[in-house]
Amino acid sequence: MSIIYIFLIGLWNFRFRPRHPTHMDTKISWADEAASPDELDEEFDTFPTSKGQDVVKMRWLLETVQRKRRGFKHC
pLDDT tens for 17-46 read 887 767 766 666 666 666 677 777 777 777
pLDDT the model gives residue 66: 76
User: Taking a C-beta distance cutoff of 8 angstroms, is the pair 26, 33 a contact?
Assistant: no
3-state secondary structure of 64: helix
User: In residues, how long is the chain?
Assistant: 75
Q: What are phi and psi of 18, to 5 degrees?
A: -70, 140
Give the start-to-end residue ranges of the domains of the chain: 36-75
User: Taking a C-beta distance cutoff of 8 angstroms, is the pair 26, 32 a contact?
Assistant: yes
Average confidence (pLDDT) over 2-18: 91
d(CA 29, CA 64): 28
d(CA 33, CA 41): 14
